[in-house]
């Protein structure tokens, strides 16, 4: 069978990808199948990322997709990063989100907002061997991100940071943190400022590691700042413009979560398709029954719709066109699709789907986070509605 025919039968739209993108997808898939899949169950069971997986991610250049070549990165497109996250998540969404946070949040923030010295110093390290984390959420500031209590106080040539961040992805492994703190509380959200904080700085520590339902190999921790001394040259972007850094970075990050969700959904659907081809009942494979065929067709259609929403948002971003509404739609729909497809995959497996010997129960557990992090589904609905309504308002002359 020709390559084109194989891709067509697998549901991959041939017109979406360039030659380079197809080659990149194939190389990431080979790595995921060969290196991640054999370790997936153990990493989930012990809630710990295998160190060899992290090394491979750096060796393959997956931790610095958009980073310019002068800083050791691939200098590739945002869409390439989305392909990478999707393919890793097809096997293990825990690995997919590690790559996603590094690329779409941490690297992206420094590429866009860092000064030349910060880009040279930190992007090079993040491309070589250091993991990044993005510290925004707190106990009292989730969806209301700018209600944060972490403060930054100016002290001569440095700032002192005090506060506690929660739900920080990559918290255990990270050595470079993009941190948001309010340096002028009397100005409300206009006092929020972004900083680059190194793990070796005085006063930063990793707190409790969360014991989670899903994406268990991805570490999620508290990060504590106790008079953390941050040099002034580590202020990221303009003073008081941290709200802008966070909003615009997360707009892109949501497309990355969409990619994680469609990768997860595809992994679950492919597992269900394989199982229903092998499972015999009443003398034939169960996917020979129309009831099962219709369920598979519905799930495949839902997945394809989610993928096209994610790809469209990524292409708009690469083209420099408005994409915020499309990114919100992509995250909203893909997270719902992932949860639904993974749930149906469990049902198609029957009793076997409910036990850990098969992968679909893990895909379902992993899917639940998609409706929560980097903006809940309700926040995506609010964003979509606001942009729709604002675009209908008459323009003031």
Q: CA-CA distance, 73 to 293, in Å (whole number)?
A: 44
Query: Residue 62's closest CA among 93, 91, 27, 94?
Result: 27
What's the pLDDT at 19?
85
What's the pLDDT at 5?
36
What's the pLDDT at 11?
46
Does 393 have pLDDT greater than 70? no
Does 12 have pLDDT greater than 50? no
> What percent of the chain is modeled with pLDDT above 70?
95
The whole-number average pLDDT for the span 299-311 is: 98
What's the pLDDT at 146?
82
What's the pLDDT at 251?
95
Confidence of residue 20 (pLDDT cuts 50, 70, 90): confident
What's the pLDDT at 59?
97
Beta strands in 26-150 (DSSP E): 132-135
Q: CA-CA distance, 214 to 153, in Å (whole number)?
A: 37
Confidence of residue 391 (pLDDT cuts 50, 70, 90): confident
Coil, helix or strand at residue 152: strand
Q: Which is more confidently placed, 10 or 385? A: 385
Least confident of 15-19, 176-180, 359-363: 15-19
What's the pLDDT at 18?
82
Coil, helix or strand at residue 257: helix
Contacts of 177 by beta carbon, 8 Å cutoff, 6+ apart: 132, 133, 134, 135, 196, 197, 198, 199, 204, 223
Q: CA-CA distance, 336 to 377, in Å (whole number)?
A: 9
What's the pLDDT at 3?
45
Beta-bridge mates of residue 176: 132, 198
In Å, what is the CA distance from 377 to each residue of 137, 370, 384? 16, 8, 11
Query: Residue 126's closest CA among 68, 208, 183, 192?
Result: 68
Q: CA-CA distance, 194 to 136, in Å (whole number)?
A: 9
Select which of 66, 222, 361, 374 is catalytic: 374
* Domains in the chain: ranges and CATH: 3-131 (1.10.540.10), 133-241 (2.40.110.10), 244-392 (1.20.140.10)
Query: Residue 152's closest CA among 97, 232, 77?
Result: 232
What's the pLDDT at 376?
96
**256-290 burial, b for 16+ CB within 10 Å, e for fewer?**
bbbbbbbbbbbbbbbbbbebbeebeeeeeebbeee
What's the pLDDT at 235?
98
Beta strands in the chain (DSSP E): 132-135, 151-155, 158-169, 176-182, 192-198, 204-209, 220-231, 235-236, 280-281, 284-285
| pLDDT tens readout for residues 104-133 | 999 999 999 999 999 999 999 999 999 999
Confidence of residue 394 (pLDDT cuts 50, 70, 90): low
**pTM of the model as a whole:** 0.93
The whole-number average pLDDT for the span 302-329 is: 97
Q: Quick check: is 374 catalytic?
A: yes
Pairing outcome for strands 151-155 and 158-169: antiparallel
| pLDDT tens readout for residues 340-379 | 999 999 999 999 999 999 999 999 999 999 999 999 999 9
Does 26 have pLDDT greater than 90? yes
Does 74 have pLDDT greater than 90? yes
The whole-number average pLDDT for the span 203-224 is: 98
What's the pLDDT at 8?
36
**129-140 burial, b for 16+ CB within 10 Å, e for fewer?**
ebbbbbbbbbee
């Amino acid at each position: 069978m020709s390559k084109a025919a194989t891709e067509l039968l697998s549901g991959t739209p041939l017109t979406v990808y360039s030659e380079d993108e197809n080659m990149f997808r194939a190389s990431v898939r080979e790595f995921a199948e060969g290196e991640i899949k054999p370790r997936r169950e153990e990493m989930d069971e012990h809630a710990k990322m295998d160190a060899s997986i992290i090394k491979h991610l750096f060796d393959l250049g997956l931790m610095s997709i958009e980073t310019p070549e002068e800083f050791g990165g691939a200098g590739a497109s945002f869409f390439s990063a989305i392909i990478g996250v999707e393919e890793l998540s097809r096997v293990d969404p825990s690995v997919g989100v590690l790559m996603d946070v590094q690329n779409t949040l941490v690297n992206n923030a420094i590429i866009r907002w860092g000064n030349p010295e910060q880009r040279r110093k930190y992007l090079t390290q993040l491309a070589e061997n250091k993991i990044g984390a993005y510290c925004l959420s707190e106990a009292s500031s989730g969806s209301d991100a700018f209600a944060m209590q972490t403060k930054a106080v100016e002290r001569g040539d440095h700032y002192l940071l005090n506060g506690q961040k929660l739900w920080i992805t990559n918290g255990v492994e990270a050595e470079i943190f993009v941190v948001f703190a309010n340096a002028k509380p009397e100005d409300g959200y206009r006092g929020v400022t972004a900083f680059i904080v190194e793990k070796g700085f005085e006063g930063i520590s990793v707190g409790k590691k969360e014991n989670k339902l899903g994406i268990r190999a991805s570490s999620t921790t508290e990060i504590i700042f106790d008079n953390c001394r941050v040099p002034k040259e580590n202020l990221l972007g303009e003073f008081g413009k941290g709200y802008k850094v966070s909003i615009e970075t997360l707009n892109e990050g949501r497309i990355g979560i969409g990619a994680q969700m469609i990768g997860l959904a595809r992994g679950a659907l492919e597992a269900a398709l394989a199982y229903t081809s092998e499972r015999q009942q009443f003398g034939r494979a169960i996917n020979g029954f129309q009831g099962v065929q219709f369920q598979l067709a519905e799930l495949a259609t839902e997945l394809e719709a989610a993928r096209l929403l994610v790809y469209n948002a990524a292409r708009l971003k690469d083209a420099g066109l408005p994409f915020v509404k499309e990114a919100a739609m992509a995250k909203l729909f893909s997270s719902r699709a992932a949860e639904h497809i993974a749930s149906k995959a469990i049902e198609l497996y029957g009793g076997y789907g409910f036990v850990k010997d098969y992968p679909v129960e893990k895909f379902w557990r992993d899917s639940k986070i998609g409706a929560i992090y980097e903006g809940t589904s309700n926040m995506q609905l609010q964003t979509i509605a606001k942009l729709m309504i604002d675009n209908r308002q008459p323009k003031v002359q």
